[in-house]
């Protein structure tokens, strides 16, 4: 039993998902499913947190660790994904009931998608990467299509599904080529062969390009971002929240495991010989494009979708710095993803809070004057967008600070990437502050319906929790940095 | 036959699938193109396994690909049916509700 202790968050989620499915089948009252779902996810996060803080992880048998890593990095992402999914489930508890389409399968899908994301974040074999990716993606497709009578939701789901499956097929072809080039499907074995220079160079490069393309799609990096705004806008807002935190975090985790884990030798990672320039270029294009496209939006939800593309760019800056800054760069990526998770939940949660039955808040105009009429409801929104912008004393500030200082300490061309990143996030100030301007300094148009915030204990609790951690990570970041550092050192010594 | 023949076959199959996905405008045919791409991967995995006879990693991988492709088709067809019910068409050129 204790041999599988390191995987307990995953096992817990499987049991909880199956139990909720059964409970849902035998009861007609599903009012507390949101609470049960969120509670199981938070318990999963707490289990992982206890193991990470305690520092002793029970070693798992080889048959497990060949496919799923039992290490600090896996536990770190367990926490991030479980917290993101748990908060999204709480938001869904308020949102779905308010807008009248609560069904039990929603919570089951959230749990199993989070499980897939956690498997993906721990995957150390091409086979488990593929299985984790598909478990997560199939759940995410279904979640986007959950509101099946809405033309927007289903159109977003169709686009997400077709492009997602195409990207998965490319990733899979890359995996098969890598197996052919090295004779291994496990990342450790691949690393050995690649580092020794025994792998077929042409096949390996082709495989790496296809793997990066497939994973960049899931992260939502330009030029593989086309699905992001459509899927994010079409999906119900709690689903958008979960996709922008849980799904993205898992994709970052597997990108780290493949690029730094399997292709982490000096040649494959080198500035002139390896994958670093590709990621660097992708980071620049993603930051610039995400921020500029977000400027043009009239819908806050779509603006947040483009902002999540921009944030993927900042994360890639940290990844591109790994070749020189090593473990510091990895831990800056990890801290960023944790800070981004709570900030994004806060921003999307506030958008949910601003709408009520029959009048969902989506565009800037919907928010006009809402802050003056309901200052308490607008307060979390202000903190959320300031954190996404990177203002002290919020989590987002330290996230950006560590990523850019990792880039600067890597030196060389990375300094210029950091400069572009800082300029791009200055552009972001315009559209983030526009939310605050509309909340407090505009009046609604004459004939427009006036936004009334919804009343829901679930949404309130989610916002309080997210807001607490946004401020806590912004004021006393040291504990979370230690966790990120110990997770980073389990990947790169 | 050498492994190069199989590699060429898999690449051609994959290319036909990718071209079909990108060129065709019917979502159902795009889904079929993706299935073709997945089967190209299976050919590749089985062929490479012959080069590494020490274990059966490639063949086992191919079984998982087949199973997951079935699950993917199930979810995908469900989404396409939901879409067809609303739009009465599966043409990608008509999916213009969400843009920019």
* Complex prediction ipTM: 0.97
Average pLDDT over residues A384-392: 94
Contact A222, A286 (CB under 8 A): yes
Residues of A in contact with B75 (CB under 8 A): 138, 141-142, 161
Q: Smallest CA–CA separation between A127 and chain B, in Å? A: 6
Residues of B in contact with A140 (CB under 8 A): none
Cis status, amide bond into A47, omega within 30 of 0: no
B34 touches chain A (CB under 8 A): yes
Taking CA atoms, what residue in B is nearest to A298?
A: B100
- The answer to whether residue A103 scores a pLDDT higher than 90 is no
The tens place of each residue's pLDDT in chain B, 100 residues long, gives 788 899 999 999 999 999 999 999 999 999 999 999 999 999 999 999 999 998 899 999 999 999 999 999 999 999 999 999 999 999 988 888 887 6
| Confidence category of residue A247, pLDDT binned at 50, 70, 90 | very high
Domain B3-92 has what CATH class?
Answer: mainly alpha
A138 touches chain B (CB under 8 A): yes
Q: Smallest CA–CA separation between B34 and chain A, in Å? A: 6
Q: Write out pLDDT tens, residues A180-212.
A: 999 999 999 999 999 998 888 999 999 999 999
Q: Write out pLDDT tens, residues A106-149.
A: 999 999 999 999 999 999 999 999 999 999 999 999 999 999 89
Contact A66, A100 (CB under 8 A): no
Q: Smallest CA–CA separation between B67 and chain A, in Å? A: 10
B6 touches chain A (CB under 8 A): no
State the average pLDDT for chain A.
93
In a mutagenesis test of the B interface, which of A169, A189, A227, A230 is the best target, namely the one with the most B β-carbons within 10 Å? Answer: A169
Cα separation, A205 vs A193, in Å, equals: 14
| Confidence category of residue A347, pLDDT binned at 50, 70, 90 | very high
Among B45, B61, B98, beta carbon nearest to A233: B98
CA distance readout (Å), A175 to A30, A274, A481: 42, 18, 33
Neighbour count for residue B74 (Cβ, 10 Å): 11
Q: Which residues pair with B26 in a beta bridge?
A: B91
Interfacial A residues in 148-207 facing B (CB < 8 Å)? 148-149, 151-152, 154-159, 161-162, 165-166, 168-170, 172-173, 175-177, 179-180, 183-185
Taking CA atoms, what residue in A is nearest to B37?
A: A169
Average pLDDT over residues A236-260: 95
Residue B35's pLDDT is 96
| Confidence category of residue A32, pLDDT binned at 50, 70, 90 | confident
Q: Write out pLDDT tens, residues A412-471.
A: 899 999 999 999 999 999 999 999 999 999 888 777 777 788 889 999 999 999 999 999
Residue A31's pLDDT is 65
A116 touches chain B (CB under 8 A): no
A157 vs B79: CB contact, 8 Å cut-off?
Answer: yes
Average pLDDT over residues A56-64: 84
B1 touches chain A (CB under 8 A): no
Taking CA atoms, what residue in B is nearest to A127?
A: B61
CA distance readout (Å), B29 to A154, A474, B13, B91, B95: 18, 50, 15, 10, 16
A322 CB-near residues (< 8 Å, 6+ apart):
A259, A260, A264, A269, A276, A329, A330, A492
Crossing angle of the two packed helices A300-320 and A395-410, in degrees rounded to 10:
30
Residues of A in contact with B27 (CB under 8 A): 158, 162
Cα separation, A309 vs A315, in Å, equals: 10
Picking from A3-7, A162-166, A261-265, A290-294, which range would have the lowest pLDDT averaged per residue?
Answer: A3-7
Residues of B in contact with A152 (CB under 8 A): 97-98
Residues of A in contact with B79 (CB under 8 A): 141-142, 145, 154, 157-158, 161
Taking CA atoms, what residue in B is nearest to A177?
A: B44
Residue A30's pLDDT is 62
Residue A5's pLDDT is 86
Cα separation, A259 vs A276, in Å, equals: 9
Taking CA atoms, what residue in B is nearest to A185?
A: B57
Residue B100's pLDDT is 62
Cα separation, B24 vs A389, in Å, equals: 41
Average pLDDT over residues A349-372: 89
Residues of B in contact with A138 (CB under 8 A): 71-72, 75
Residue A1's pLDDT is 55
A296 touches chain B (CB under 8 A): yes
Residue A86's pLDDT is 97
Among A149, A165, A179, beta carbon nearest to B72: A165
Cα separation, A11 vs A28, in Å, equals: 27
């Amino acid at each position: 039993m204790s041999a599988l202790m390191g995987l307990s968050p995953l096992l817990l989620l499987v049991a909880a998902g199956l139990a909720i499915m059964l409970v849902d089948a035998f009861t007609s009252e599903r009012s507390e499913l949101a609470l049960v779902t969120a509670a199981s996810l938070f318990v999963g996060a707490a289990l992982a947190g206890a193991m990470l803080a305690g520092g002793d992880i029970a070693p798992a048998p080889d048959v497990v660790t060949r496919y799923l890593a039992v290490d600090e990095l896996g536990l770190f992402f367990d926490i991030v994904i479980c917290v993101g999914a748990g908060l999204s489930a709480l938001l869904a508890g308020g949102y779905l009931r308010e807008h009248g389409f609560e069904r039990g399968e929603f919570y089951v899908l959230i749990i199993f998608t989070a499980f897939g994301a956690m498997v993906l974040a721990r995957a150390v074999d091409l086979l488990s990467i593929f299985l984790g990716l598909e478990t997560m993606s199939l759940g995410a497709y279904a979640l986007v299509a959950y509101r099946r009578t809405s033309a927007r939701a289903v159109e977003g789901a169709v686009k997400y599904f077709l492009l997602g499956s195409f990207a998965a097929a490319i990733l899979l072809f890359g995996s098969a080529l890598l197996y052919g080039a090295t004779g291994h499907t496990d990342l450790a074995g691949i690393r050995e062969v690649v580092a020794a220079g025994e792998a077929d160079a042409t096949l390996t490069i082709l495989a790496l390009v296809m793997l990066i393309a497939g994973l960049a799609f899931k992260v939502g990096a330009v030029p593989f971002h086309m699905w992001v705004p459509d899927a994010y806008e079409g999906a119900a807002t709690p689903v958008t929240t979960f996709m922008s935190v849980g799904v993205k975090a898992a994709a970052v985790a597997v990108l780290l495991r493949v690029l730094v884990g399997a292709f982490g030798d000096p040649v494959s990672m080198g500035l002139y010989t390896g994958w670093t320039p590709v990621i660097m270029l992708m980071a620049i294009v993603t930051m610039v494009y995400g921020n500029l496209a977000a400027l043009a939006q009239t819908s806050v939800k779509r603006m947040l979708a483009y902002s999540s593309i921009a944030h993927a760019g900042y994360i890639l800056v940290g990844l591109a710095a790994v070749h020189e800054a090593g473990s510091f760069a990895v831990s800056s990526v990890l801290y960023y993803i944790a800070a981004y998770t709570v900030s994004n939940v806060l921003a999307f949660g506030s958008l949910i809070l601003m709408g009520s039955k029959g009048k969902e808040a989506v565009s800037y105009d919907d928010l006009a004057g809402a802050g003056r009429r309901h200052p308490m409801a607008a307060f979390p929104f202000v903190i959320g967008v300031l954190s996404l912008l990177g203002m002290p004393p919020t989590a987002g500030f330290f996230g950006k600070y560590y990523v850019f200082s990792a880039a600067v300490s890597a030196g060389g061309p990375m300094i210029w990437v950091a400069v572009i990143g800082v300029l791009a996030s200055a552009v972001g100030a315009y559209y983030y502050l526009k939310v605050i301007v509309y909340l407090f300094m505009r009046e609604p148009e004459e004939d427009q319906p006036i936004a009334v915030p919804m009343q829901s204990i679930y949404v309130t609790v989610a916002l309080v929790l997210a807001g607490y951690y946004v401020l806590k990570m912004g004021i006393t970041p040291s504990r979370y940095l230690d966790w990120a550092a110990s997770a980073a050192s389990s990947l790169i010594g | 036959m050498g492994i190069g023949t199989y590699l060429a076959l898999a690449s051609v199959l994959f290319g036909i699938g990718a071209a079909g996905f990108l060129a065709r405008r019917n979502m159902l045919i795009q889904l079929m193109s993706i299935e073709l791409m997945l089967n190209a991967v299976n050919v590749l995995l089985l062929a490479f396994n012959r080069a590494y006879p020490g274990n059966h990693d490639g063949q086992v991988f191919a079984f998982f690909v087949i199973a997951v492709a079935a699950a993917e088709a199930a979810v995908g067809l469900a989404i396409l049916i939901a879409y067809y019910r609303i739009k009465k068409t599966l043409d990608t050129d008509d999916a213009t509700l969400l843009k920019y």
